[in-house]
Amino acid sequence: MGSNMAENHPVGFQWVMEAKLAGAKIMHVDPRFTRTSAMATTYVPIRAGTDIAFLGGVVNYILEHERWLDEYVKHYTNAPVIIDERFRDTEDLDGFFSGFDPEKRIYDTSSWHYAGMPVQETAGERSKGGTKGEQSGHGAQSGHLSSGEPPEEDETLRHPRCVFQLVKKHFRRYTPEVVAQICGCTEEQFLEVAEALCANSGRERTSAIVYSVGWTQHTVGVQYIRTAAIIQLLLGNIGRPGGGIVALRGHASIQGSTDLATLYNILPGYLPMPHGEKDTDLAAYLENHAGTTGWWGHFDAYVISQLKAFWGEAATKENDFRFDYLPRIDSDHSAYQTAVDMLDGKMKGYFLFGENPAVGSANSRLHRLALAQLDWLVVRDFQEIESASFWKDAPEIETGELKTEKIGTEVFLLPAATHVEKDGCFTNTQRLLQWHSKALEPPEDCRSDLGFVYHLGRKIREKLAGSTDPRDRPVLDLTWAYATSGPYEEPSADQVLREINGVGADGIALGTYADLKNEGSTACGCWLYCGCYADEQNRPARKKPGREQTWVAPEWGWAWPLNRRILYNRASADPDGKPWSERKRFVWWDEAEQKWVGEDVPDFDEQKAPTYVPPEDAEAEHAIAGDHPFILQADGRGWLFAAAGLMDGPLPTHYEPHESPFDNPLYAQRANPTRQLFEHRENRYNEDGAYPYVVTTYRLTEHHTAGGMSRTLPYLAELQPEFFCEVSPELAAERDLEHGGWATIVTARTAIEARVLVTERMTPLEVQGRTVHQVGLPYHWGTKGLTTGDAANDVFSLALDPNVHIQEVKAATCDIRPGRRPRGRALRELVESYPGRLES
């Protein structure tokens, strides 16, 4: 669900096809019949933006029909934990959880906590200070538990306030009838999927759920994935081979760029960026963010080692390891907020590293207008992409909104080296670090981004040398002595990887994050990657052929953490440490050897027996019991109920997309009440009524994201040479759209034109007693390259998930008309004739 794996990850899909040939059932639930649907055993069409209703139906099915894996649920999840008596569910409050502040549209999450817990700062508290979501990184905020055990539990799962009962009650209304009513599929289709999932889970079998940006790009995106997590925890499918929730990411190293934190709210390894008001010094920061139990119990060692990696000798115990050098955040500084600030003239300079917001970001017109407000822009890419050339060929030049001679942006387009022209490693979607070696030098002015950043830093440091301004100390004190080689003085990627891995007091590469210290004797760029350079060996560069290894292939590359290929794999054994079944054996407790053994590196303390019960005063990993596999959680359990860490609720619930032609049949509250909106004249939202159709975006096998790496290549461009929209024959008839002709898609943002592909793969759906049509838009096109076309993202608004600030481009509303769009000023006149509203 939310993934079109056959099209967007075709080579990964070989394993799905192989599983299918071996008898596995492949179920595809998606708004469109895609190449993945064509390969599936069963395809279920649903309305875009209704996945939580479908998945919630599965949760209800599991609970109603008693299909959960009982031992797994009781030992490995927080099902028995009793929740604060002040907690109220959306079922009690008509679409709101307890703690909602209607003024600020945020939650005070304290009533979602485990009963009996000391009150502490929560995500909601933080947001009152202006920061939304994910600022805490991952997991650390799960609280200060004494000995890792929640204060109140009911092992029988009968207590009305235990998580299990709350989940049961919450999802009770997600019956097959309701699922069909919201999603537009039939009850039978839904039941087939629910039953298949249950029948293929348990001791003997596992099921996996695969998702991609079809789930994340919603105003409730995080909760989509949470619902899948609840299903997989109930069915016992996490931490086991063939199970899991498989996130298929779209860019080679998007996982690595998340881990190593080119994100405003985190430092490498999911350490939170310090907050201006609250994290005044290192002690306050540690107090605010460290866990006491689980592996986040060593938060201080991770942070201090990172400060040592950044600032080396300059970071000492006496000066808080230069925690004061870190810049502070105090609000949402994510990409969309930055774009709006840019548009309002608040930004001076911007760097684009292989990113093309003029095509790839929601409301791309807004981004093009914003780029025109910058003083300077540095674009690093292979080709002259739209974000580099907007000043001469943006569509807004044609409409008269922008004039080249009036755009003051100074643009530097610096050619980048390709993957074969530099050393380095990606972290791919399976957390696998894979090294690629340089095959030849880059041509002419092309340089690696590593070289660019290194030399830019070097130049800046040279220019600032001798500065006494305290502002300049952090950059001057950075450890920046990288060895260079070759004609372009290319810094050593190998050396940078070693810095990320970390070294001990003896200067030797560390083997595990367990060896990181909190007194400054270790330096480590990213604790999660510690071990990738163990024994002074570049482990991502290991290339032992797959056929010469076990099926787990542990000697090909290196997976974080500590080369564990399946996370939380202690759960692949039952509470006693025995494999759940012979055919699903993976990691288990060896009585004779008194340690965990198996196919994979155990994701658990190797010598902690399944019977281990932590003493009262235990801390960090020692506070996690032998039958609790989720070692990064403070209580070692998988969370059916997210007691902390989320902005929009401890349980997922169905909300309509921000723009939807339907009301929410569950509550008066239609959309996610905490969704993030931007009040700006260039970001008008659709008024209800004038936009009767659902619109969604996607990618095609033949192209890559915003097109810079595919529209420019003849062999790919010829395979999908024009921007098109996909519509059903019924919608084509309703709107006089001619197959092969042109259509204009209109929202309150703008209107774009596309060739019309009428196909039965687009299915009209019956929703709440009426027919809804969906329009599909592949989003690869722009004004540059061998094939050009309007950018699909132009028609979408900035409406974001409150946790992660990701835009909703997988479900919105639109109008569609036959023929091409108007040119020039007439285009804006058409758009302005459609109703829109500003909303914050």
Partner 1 sequence: MPLAKLIGRWPLLRQADGDPLALGKAVQSERTQKLRPRTAEAEQVVQSICPYCAVGCGQLVFVRDGKVDQIEGDPDSPISRGRLCPKGAASKSLVTSPTRVLKVRYRRPYATDWEDLPLEQAMDMIADRVLEARRATWDASNNRTMGIGSLGGATLDNEENYLIKKLCMGLGIVQVENQARI
Partner 2 sequence: MKAGDGQTTYGLQIQPRMGFFTDTSICIGCKACEVACKEWNLVPEDGLEWTGHSYDNTGALDANTWRHVAFVEQQVDDGLRWLMSSDVCKHCTHAGCLDVCPTGAITRTEFGTVVIQDDVCNGCGYCVTACPFGVISKREIGGDGGMHKCTLCYDRLEDGLEPACAKACPTKSIQFGPVDELLARAEGRVEELHEAGVGDARLYLADETDGVGGGGAFFLLLDRPEVYGLPPDPVDPTRHLGEAWGAALAAGAALVAGALVAFLGGRR
Residue 419 interacting with partner 2 (CB under 8 A): no
CB 643 within 8 A of CB 75: no
Q: How far is the CB of 73 from partner 1 (least distance, A)?
A: 32
> What's the distance, CA 32 to chain centroid?
22
Q: Which does residue 665 touch among partner 1, partner 2, none (CB within 5 to 8 A, set by kind)?
A: none
Report how far residue 679's alpha carbon sits from residue 840's, in angstroms, rounded to the nearest whole number: 5
Range 514-553, binding partner 1 (CB under 8 A):
525-526, 529, 543-547, 549, 553
Give the CA distances from residue 487 to residues 131, 417, 440, 459, in Å, rounded to whole numbers and listed in that order. Answer: 45, 14, 12, 18
CB 785 within 8 A of CB 754: no
Range 417-446, binding partner 1 (CB under 8 A):
418-422, 424-430, 432-440, 443-446
- Residue among 129, 354, 504, 721 that touches partner 1 (CB under 8 A): 354
CB 669 within 8 A of CB 96: yes
Q: For partner 1, which is the closer residue by CB, 405 or 616?
A: 405
Residue 21 interacting with partner 2 (CB under 8 A): yes
- Residue among 37, 109, 136, 165 that touches partner 2 (CB under 8 A): 37
Single-letter residue type at 565: R
> What's the distance, CA 239 to chain centroid?
20
CB 830 within 8 A of CB 746: yes
Residue 732 interacting with partner 1 (CB under 8 A): no
Residue 604 interacting with partner 2 (CB under 8 A): no
Task: Provide long-range contacts, Cβ within 8 A and 24+ apart, for 281-288.
Answer: 281/320, 281/323, 281/324, 282/320, 282/321, 282/323, 283/320, 285/323, 288/121
- Residue among 19, 39, 411, 464 that touches partner 2 (CB under 8 A): 39
Angle, nearest 10°, between helix axes 187-199 and 176-183?
Answer: 120
Q: How far is the CB of 700 from partner 2 (least distance, A)?
A: 8
Q: For partner 1, which is the closer residue by CB, 9 or 608?
A: 9
- Residue among 330, 515, 730, 766 that touches partner 1 (CB under 8 A): 330
Q: How far is the CB of 711 from partner 1 (least distance, A)?
A: 10
Contact range with partner 2 by CB under 8 A, out of 74-82, 86-94, 133-141, 754-762:
754-762
Q: Which does residue 123 touch among partner 1, partner 2, none (CB within 5 to 8 A, set by kind)?
A: none
Sign of the CA dihedral running 520, 524, 527, 532: negative
Q: Which does residue 328 touch among partner 2, partner 1, none (CB within 5 to 8 A, set by kind)?
A: partner 1
Q: How far is the CB of 566 from partner 2 (least distance, A)?
A: 23
Pairing assessment for the beta strands 774-778 and 693-698 based on DSSP bridges? parallel
Question: What DSSP designation does 508 have?
Answer: P
Q: For partner 1, which is the closer residue by CB, 493 or 746?
A: 493
Which of 35, 250, 51, 702 has the alpha carbon at shortest distance from 43?
A: 35
Q: For partner 2, which is the closer residue by CB, 34 or 110?
A: 34
Q: For partner 1, which is the closer residue by CB, 112 or 527?
A: 527
SS3 802: coil
Residue 456 interacting with partner 1 (CB under 8 A): yes
Which tokens go with 167?
A: 């989940």
Angle, nearest 10°, between helix axes 282-289 and 299-311?
Answer: 140
* Contact map string, positions 757 to 786, toward partner 2, x by CB under 8 A: x-xxx------------------------x
- Residue among 25, 473, 755, 828 that touches partner 2 (CB under 8 A): 755
Give the ranges where 492-634 is alpha helix by DSSP (H): 493-501
Residue 17 interacting with partner 1 (CB under 8 A): no
Q: Which does residue 21 touch among partner 1, partner 2, none (CB within 5 to 8 A, set by kind)?
A: partner 2
Number of other residues whose CB lies within 10 A of the CB of residue 745 = 24
Q: How far is the CB of 104 from partner 1 (least distance, A)?
A: 22
* Contact map string, positions 265 to 304, toward partner 1, x by CB under 8 A: --xx----x--x----------------------------
Report how far residue 186's alpha carbon sits from residue 697's, in angstroms, rounded to the nearest whole number: 24
Give the CA distances from residue 597 to residues 469, 573, 586, 593, 594, in Å, rounded to whole numbers and listed in that order. Answer: 56, 11, 8, 9, 9
* Contact map string, positions 695 to 734, toward partner 2, x by CB under 8 A: -----xxx-----------xxxxxxxxx-x----------
Q: Which does residue 37 touch among partner 2, partner 1, none (CB within 5 to 8 A, set by kind)?
A: partner 2
DSSP3 helix / strand / coil % (the chain, rounded to 5) = 30, 15, 55
Give the CA distances from residue 760 to residues 26, 729, 763, 796, in Å, rounded to whole numbers and listed in that order. Answer: 21, 6, 6, 25
- Residue among 228, 450, 745, 754 that touches partner 1 (CB under 8 A): 450
Range 168-207, binding partner 1 (CB under 8 A):
none
CB 693 within 8 A of CB 661: yes
Single-letter residue type at 425: C
Q: How far is the CB of 555 from partner 2 (least distance, A)?
A: 24
Contact range with partner 1 by CB under 8 A, out of 83-91, 140-148, 406-414, 733-741:
406-414
Residue 453 interacting with partner 1 (CB under 8 A): yes
Residue 261 interacting with partner 1 (CB under 8 A): yes
Q: How far is the CB of 192 from partner 1 (least distance, A)?
A: 29
Report how far residue 317's alpha carbon sits from residue 307's, in angstroms, rounded to the nearest whole number: 11
Q: For partner 2, which is the closer residue by CB, 716 or 795?
A: 716
Helix or strand run (H / E) with residue 369: helix 364-371
Pairing assessment for the beta strands 799-800 and 676-677 based on DSSP bridges? antiparallel
- Residue among 157, 191, 195, 382 that touches partner 1 (CB under 8 A): 382
Report how far residue 536's alpha carbon sits from residue 14's, in angstroms, rounded to the nearest whole number: 35
- Residue among 6, 62, 432, 620 that touches partner 2 (CB under 8 A): 6
> What's the distance, CA 233 to chain centroid?
20
Number of other residues whose CB lies within 10 A of the CB of residue 487 = 6
Contact range with partner 1 by CB under 8 A, out of 57-65, 225-233, 738-746, 798-806:
798-806
Give the residues lining the site for partner 2 (CB under 8 A): 6-7, 10-11, 13-14, 17, 21, 33, 35, 37-39, 43, 700-702, 714-722, 724, 739-740, 755-757, 759-761, 786-787
